[in-house]
Structures are given as C-alpha cells and as structure tokens.
Structure 1
Amino acid sequence: MNIKNNLLAVSLLSVVYCVPALAYDSKDDEEANKERQSSEYAHKGIHMSSFVLSPKLDVDNQYDTNIYKQDKSLNPVDSYVAHFRPGLNLRSDWNRHALNLMFDSDITQYATQGDQNNYEDLFTRLDGRLDVLRDSHFDAGFNYNSVHEDRGSPDQIAGRAPTFYDTKAIDAFYTHKLNRVSFKGGLDTIRYDYQDVSTSLNTMLAMSTRNHWEYVPSIRLGYEIQPEYEAYVKFSYKKADYDSLVKSNGAGVAYNRNSSGFNALGGLAFELTSLVTGDLSVGYLQRNYDDSRLSSISGINGFVNLKWRPTLLTTLTGTLSHDINETTQAGVAGVLSTAIKLGAEHELMRNVILSAGGSFANNDYQGFVAPHLVSRNDKVYGGNVAAKYLLNRNLSAALSYNYQNRDVNYLFSNYEVHQVMLNLRGEF
C-alpha cells in the first residue's frame, strides 16, 4: 500500500510541476485539433529556419482495475499507473517537397508489481515527399518502434512480463494524376523481432520464433467522376516470411506460418459537402499457408470511413474494417477480424472539448485449440468519454474514462477493464 501511495504522490506532483499533457488523445483527436489552426488555442510550433519544431510532454495519472486483463474468477489486480510521454515533431516548411521527423514515447511505471509490468515504448518515423511534377510525387518513410504486446493478447498468456518486440518498416509509393485518372503504387516492408520472455516458473517462452518479414506491394487506380466523387479499385498482395517454425504461445506445437494472399477492393471516395466526407469499399481477400495443417482463409472484405460535421462545432466519425491478423495459436491459421468504431467530438466552448466513442470487434480464430472442439471467437466491446480543457495554446488538461469488455467462448478468457485518467499536456 505504501508503494501505491508513494507513486500516486509522485505522479500528482509531476502533474503540478511538469510542462505536460494528455495521452487520451487519439489520432482522430489530433486531426480534429489540426482543423482548429485558426484558433487562439492552436499551438504554433517553434520556427527554425525552414522547419517547424513541435515538442510536447504528456503526463498521465491512471487508475486501472485489471492490469493483467484477467477473468473475473481469477481476482483481477488493480493499480495506479504513471505515464510520461515526451515527444517531438519536426516538419519542413517548404513550398515544394517535404521532410518530417516524428519521435514519441511512453515511459510507464506501475505501483503494483512494477517489475512485471513496467515498459518503455518508443516510436519514431522519418518520411519525405519529392514533388516530381505538378500532379506527381514520390513518398517514402522509415519507422522504428520498440513496443510491448497488450496483456489481453492470447499469444502471450503465460509470460511473467509483457512480450517486447521491435518493428522496422520501410514504405515507398509513387502517386500520379493525369486529368481525371489517378495512380498510386508502391511497397510496404515490415520486420518484426520479438524477445523471449520467462514464465512465473522461470521457464523460457520462445517468442523469438515469431520473428518475420511482411511484404505488401499494392496498387490503386482512381477515376474522378466529378470533383466530389472518385471511384477506385485497389489491389494488394501480402507475403509473410518467418525465420523459423513458430512455437504456439512460445512453447507448444511448432508450425510453418509462412503465408501469402491478396486483397482486392473497389470503392468510392466522396465529399458530399465540406461537412460530409467518406470512403466506402467492398472486395475479396484470401490467405494461403505453407503448413498443410493450417487451412486457407478467404471471404468478403470491405472498409468504411465516414466523417460528418452536422455543425462547425461537432464532428461525428465512423469506421468499419475487415482483415486477417497473425496469431500463434495451435491449429489456428489466422484471425478474421471485423471492427467497428464510432466517435463524437463537440467544441462546447473555444477551449472546452467534449468527446465520446464506442467500439466493437469480432475476432474469429480460423481453427481450434485442443481440448476445445470449437474455434475461438472473441467479442470485444469498448467505450470512452473525455473532457479536455485548453488553458492556452501550450497547455491543456483532460479527464477521461475508458471501458473494455471481452466475451470469449472459452473458459477463463473473459475480462473487464475500467480506466480513469487525469492528464496534462504541454506543447509548443
């Protein structure tokens, strides 16, 4: 109990004395903030010759009711959690071409069982754009991330500590527009490197057998029916190439998880008015695995992205996605995941922003794990509400609540999580 109180005191003092910030912000919130650039509360950044530097520091004080995301019957463990998130964004301010550097981090300390839960996540990206012609440009980027796997993942259930892994990604795309016809083609290449993790019995889980490359070339062709409507087709091919046979959960049956497949889509991007924009698509996806014990996966695919601003102060968003995700579960080829997300944001006053959202994900595991005789199915529900107060263009504070519930058709796999965060942000 003393440890909890000490960490809580340190966290509260850091809120008072640091130049700080809030991590409840999602990418949707970041985009909404960019639309308020004319506001006296929008941060301007530090101009350095032909670049603009935007440093920030987030300090979050969080209470989590279930840090291991355990089933209710297993007496979930709660904890106070302190997040420190320094970061920066450096972007060019040129008339032609662009060069950007992003660095973000999440240094997290738990008051309860910190040696099993503390982590330091790092996120970096360097990207640029080369304007070749008036309607033609080449984009390329490099990412390096050092992160941890969520405790709710069934691929690391026996680990004493989180599973840590690095990703390195290179992407390069060429975009060209000729009259009403547009073309975009390129390649995403991603490398995953996992660290082995020990169990509570001091045995080792060979998570490093999950190390692999992913190659995703893609091409998109669009036709502008009129300025507000564009019809398009998109085709992508994905190949996963593992270094070795992959052990299930780091210790079980080994499989050759090399795979390849495609995703073909046709859709419509539209801007009905300046207040209603969207992107709708439907298609077919397929994945085949080299290991004969793993069945192929295929089915109808689609994506929906909608944004509606019923007033200049209110923004509503909605997304729908359907894709195949990797897994290490014994006998399971992949996870067919369907996700829905809804969000709302309202500017109550120029410096008071309210937001709320909800999400649902259905994860179908294509194969079963003995002794279960049916394939695993997860239904994950989530919700959040937040209120953000902008003190000035450099400082803001927020209070948020997040909820998540997972319903699984396997015993001892359900969980429920409540999180309350007090956040401050400082940025230039």
Structure 2
Amino acid sequence: MQRIVRATGLVSLAALLVAGTAVRAQNSTSSAPGALPAPSDRRLEDYEPVGGRIGSFFIFPSAEARLEYDDNILALPDNGAGDFELTARGAVKIRSVWQRHSIEADAYIQQSFHERFTTEDTLQGGARVQGRLDVDRDTSVRMVASLDALAEDRANITSAAQAREPTRFRRADVLLSGARDFGRLQLIGDAQVVLLDFDDAVTASGAVLDQSFRNSVYTRGSLQGLIELSPRVSGLVRGQIDRLNYTENAASTFDRDTTGYAIEAGARVELTNLLFGELRAGILHRSIDDPGTKGLTGLSFGANLTWNITPLTTLRLFADRQVEEGGSQLVSGNIRSQARLEAEHELLRNLLLEARAGFARIDTVGQIDTSADEYNLMVGGTWKVNRNLRVFARADRFQRFADEGFFREFTRNRVSVGVRLEF
C-alpha cells in the first residue's frame, strides 16, 4: 500500500494548489439555478460552486481523487487477479455568460496508480471546446471539437488481451450541427469526423503487437426533420450516411473499409410533464469495400425517454444501434446494439442515489461472423457536502459472454469511493 499512500499525498497537494487558485479567482456572483427535471440535473443554489469571473467568462476548477478495488484488473477469462487503483484527476472549465451565443471549453489530466500491477498505471488527458452561434431567432449553429490522449480500458471488446500495458491512442472529434425552425417544422443537420490513432502494444515477453491497422477515420452526416402534430407530439424522419476508413489497409489483403446508411422514423413525445422523450426505428445497412465479403442489413433504432415518477425519482431509458472500430484485421467493424436503464432518487436534498442496468449485443461485420453479449449493473450515490466538496461511492459488475473464442469472456467487479473538489 506504500505506493497508494505516496500517491494520496500527491493528490492532496494538487487539490490544495487548485483550491488556492480558485479561491483567489472567486467573487460573490453565483450561477443562475437550472430548471432541468432530473435530480442529477437540478442546481441547488446552496450547493453549487461559485466559480471565478474573468470578464465575460466564468472559470470552474476541480480536483478529484478516487480509490477503487477491481477484482479482475486485467479482464482475464480465468484466474483474474485483483488490485487497488488510485486515480487523481484535475480539470478546469471556462464558460461564457453572454446573452446571445455561447462558448465553453474544458481540459483535464488524469493519472492512475496501481498497488500490484504497476504496468496498468496510465496518464491521460484531453481538452474540448464547444460553441453556439445564434444566427437569428429561428436558426442556430453549434460546433464541438475535442482532442484526447487515452489508454484503452482492458474491458473494451477491441482491447489487445496479450498487451503488457493498456494500449495508448489518441482521439480527435469534430462535430458541426445546425438547426432551423420553420414554424411547425424543424430541420436539424450535423456532420462529424472522428480520427483514431493507436500506438503499438508490447507483450510481456517484449514482442511488438502492431496496432496501426486500427487507425481510422470515421465520417458521418445526418439530417432530421421534426413536424409538430399536436402540442405534445412531433413526428420525425431521420437519415444518416457514414463511412469508416482504415488508414493502414495496405497491410491486409482484406479491404475493411465500410460505408453505411440508416433511415428512421419515429416521434418526439411529451405525454405529460413527467414523461417525455424520443423513439425511432428504421433500417440500417453496411456494405464492405472488399468484393468477397458480405455486408449487413438490419434494424436501426433509437430511444431516449425520461419518466419523472415523482419529483424525487427519475427513470431514463437509452437505446441505439451504432458502428464501432473492430479491433481485428479479420473484421471491418462491430455493430453494437445497446440499451440502458438508469434510475435516480433524491434521498435528501443534497444526497443523490443512482442505479444503472445495461445490455449490449456486439455483432462482427467482416470475414468472421460471431457475436458477444455484455451486461452491466451499477449502484452508487453522491453526497454534496457543501458548495465545493462532493463525496461519492460506486459498485458495479460487468460480464461478457461470447459465442466462441474470438471475443474474450470475463467477469469484473469494482467498488470505488472518492472525493471531488469543485470551485
């Protein structure tokens, strides 16, 4: 435990430095309370950080320390070993307070320390900026851009199981969207580009595991139309086309690049002030550039529903079907069909309890036809002690079952506690 104790001292020092900077920047102006319905979205005036004002911007620094026990730290099928992990995270957010338009930026850095498996120690960081331009009363344009240097979670279905350390990679993401109201008709369009760049991994014996075949560029464009059918129901039609291009395809005889589209119809509803959201379904198709490999045609769907059972309890349902990078030279990608049910309950004004149950079905697209099922359960809580201090705890269980040996089967249980300082 000596590494954990030393790391805890570093976390405490970092938190004090962030706190000192924040206190000097604070003034007496507080953010306006929000009006979102879910307990986790509510802003409690007495428990919200004040931030520091710099001209037309507010700055919100934060520091977090989390201690976690993972009973299968390497996500192995058999004989998984447990370990303690201490994660320290520092972040800062800057937000404009203009009457029109908005811009927000945030950055973070995160270091993990492990007691036994020190090869799992990782340093990660990233930054994001987003802005909204209000062209006129009926037209707005939004852009989000992010850049992250990450370490791949051992539980990821694409993770290299033989790697001595978590695989490092960089992710760049740019999203541009626009919305226009025409009375009862609203049009929403967006375009997105995501770049992934992986470092090579190394086995315990020192052999290099080439990961360059995973480098990819994903581009997507979509257009959605909403027409008001009644004050509480709007019909929707959505179309999307996307392309997944692997930049290192030359190393393989199998051309893994794919193009896909989805066409969906559905409704956006507000049955009462307590039950609202969106449902849609349609057809999804993916074709593979390799002439000898069959593509996929199937169901496309999406759901995002919120039910405020009482003013203190909220249920949320999320579901969708999407494409992801495949992690193998034998497949062009995976189709992930997933659903998640979340519950939140405000036990006390400043004490929030939460639970989540999730399921995902992963199907390969390419030269191998196989699948895997993933299950996840989580319970936790967050205590807002005052404006600046949050204490939280989580417990979760993750299981994966696969049809055959292509995907790794394993079970993982984790318990964590942590503190977060926000200013």
Task: Give me the TM-score of the superposition, normalised by structure 2.
Answer: 0.89
| C-alpha distance in 2 between matches for 1:347 and 1:92 | 30
Would you say 1:141 and 2:125 are equivalent positions?
no
| C-alpha distance in 1 between matches for 2:341 and 2:270 | 19
Equivalent residue of 1:40, what SS?
A: helix
What corresponds to 2:178 in structure 1? 174
Structure 1 residues 67-92: Cα deviation after superposition (integer angstroms, max 9, x where no partner): 110012xx212111011111121111
Q: Is the 8 A contact 1:389 1:396 kept in 2?
A: yes
Q: Is the 8 A contact 1:380 1:407 kept in 2?
A: yes
Equivalent residue of 2:237, what SS?
A: strand
What corresponds to 2:239 in structure 1? 235
Q: Which amino acid aligns with 1:51?
A: F
Q: Structure 2 matches for 1:102-251, cutoff 5 A?
A: 102-114=106-118, 116-152=119-155, 153-245=157-249
Q: Which amino acid aligns with 1:334?
A: G
Equivalent residue of 2:50, what SS?
A: coil
Equivalent residue of 1:159, what SS?
A: coil
What corresponds to 2:4 in structure 1? 8
| C-alpha distance in 2 between matches for 1:307 and 1:55 | 30
What corresponds to 2:300 in structure 1? 301
| C-alpha distance in 1 between matches for 2:216 and 2:279 | 32
* Alpha carbons of structure 1 residues 109 and 255: separation in structure 2 relative to 1, 3 Å: farther
Q: Structure 2 matches for 1:316-355, cutoff 5 A?
A: 316-355=315-354
Structure 1 residues 160-200: Cα deviation after superposition (integer angstroms, max 9, x where no partner): 21111111122212211011111122311111111111222
Q: Is the 8 A contact 2:314 2:344 kept in 1?
A: yes
Q: Which amino acid aligns with 2:325?
A: E
| C-alpha distance in 2 between matches for 1:417 and 1:341 | 18
| C-alpha distance in 2 between matches for 1:104 and 1:263 | 35
| C-alpha distance in 2 between matches for 1:178 and 1:9 | 60
* Alpha carbons of structure 1 residues 385 and 263: separation in structure 2 relative to 1, 3 Å: same
Structure 2: tracts of 5 or more residues without a match? 19-35
Structure 1 residues 225-260: Cα deviation after superposition (integer angstroms, max 9, x where no partner): 23322211111110122222276xxxxx65322111
Structure 1 residues 92-116: Cα deviation after superposition (integer angstroms, max 9, x where no partner): 11110111102133311111221x2
Q: Which amino acid aligns with 2:53?
A: H
| C-alpha distance in 2 between matches for 1:420 and 1:15 | 20
Offset at residue 355 of structure 1 (A): 1.2
Q: Is the 8 A contact 1:209 1:243 kept in 2?
A: yes
Offset at residue 12 of structure 1 (A): 5.4
Structure 1: tracts of 5 or more residues without a match? 22-29, 248-252, 370-374
| C-alpha distance in 2 between matches for 1:271 and 1:14 | 49
Offset at residue 298 of structure 1 (A): 1.5
What corresponds to 1:27 in structure 2? none
Equivalent residue of 2:47, what SS?
A: coil
| C-alpha distance in 2 between matches for 1:191 and 1:18 | 32
Offset at residue 287 of structure 1 (A): 1.0
Task: Give me the TM-score of the superposition, normalised by structure 1.
Answer: 0.88
Offset at residue 367 of structure 1 (A): 5.2
Offset at residue 330 of structure 1 (A): 4.8
Equivalent residue of 2:354, what SS?
A: strand
Q: Is the 8 A contact 1:146 1:167 kept in 2?
A: yes
| C-alpha distance in 2 between matches for 1:413 and 1:169 | 28
Identity of aligned residues (%): 25
Q: Which amino acid aligns with 1:316?
A: L
| C-alpha distance in 2 between matches for 1:141 and 1:333 | 27
Q: Is the 8 A contact 1:14 1:59 kept in 2?
A: no
What corresponds to 1:53 in structure 2? 59
| C-alpha distance in 2 between matches for 1:62 and 1:149 | 18
Equivalent residue of 1:156, what SS?
A: coil
| C-alpha distance in 1 between matches for 2:260 and 2:373 | 25
Would you say 1:312 and 2:311 are equivalent positions?
yes
What corresponds to 1:250 in structure 2? none
| C-alpha distance in 1 between matches for 2:77 and 2:95 | 45
Q: Is the 8 A contact 1:19 1:425 kept in 2?
A: no
* Alpha carbons of structure 1 residues 38 and 80: separation in structure 2 relative to 1, 3 Å: closer
Would you say 1:93 and 2:93 are equivalent positions?
no
What corresponds to 2:395 in structure 1? 401
Q: Is the 8 A contact 1:320 1:339 kept in 2?
A: yes
| C-alpha distance in 1 between matches for 2:11 and 2:198 | 34
Computed over aligned residues only, the root mean square deviation of the Cα atoms, in angstroms, reads 2.3
| C-alpha distance in 2 between matches for 1:193 and 1:80 | 29
Would you say 1:283 and 2:282 are equivalent positions?
yes
What corresponds to 1:65 in structure 2? 71
* Alpha carbons of structure 1 residues 331 and 197: separation in structure 2 relative to 1, 3 Å: closer
| C-alpha distance in 2 between matches for 1:378 and 1:32 | 33
Q: Is the 8 A contact 2:173 2:195 kept in 1?
A: yes
| C-alpha distance in 1 between matches for 2:323 and 2:121 | 30
What corresponds to 1:25 in structure 2? none
Q: Is the 8 A contact 1:378 1:406 kept in 2?
A: yes
Q: Is the 8 A contact 1:246 1:328 kept in 2?
A: no
Q: Which amino acid aligns with 1:220?
A: Q
Q: Is the 8 A contact 1:155 1:327 kept in 2?
A: no
| C-alpha distance in 2 between matches for 1:215 and 1:418 | 35
| C-alpha distance in 1 between matches for 2:63 and 2:377 | 26
* Alpha carbons of structure 1 residues 34 and 346: separation in structure 2 relative to 1, 3 Å: closer
Q: Structure 2 matches for 1:69-88, cutoff 5 A?
A: 69-72=75-78, 75-88=79-92
What corresponds to 2:30 in structure 1? none
Q: Which structure is richer in relative contact order (CA contacts within 8 A, separation 6 or more)?
A: 1
| C-alpha distance in 2 between matches for 1:228 and 1:45 | 37
| C-alpha distance in 2 between matches for 1:219 and 1:49 | 37
| C-alpha distance in 2 between matches for 1:246 and 1:149 | 24
Offset at residue 158 of structure 1 (A): 2.1
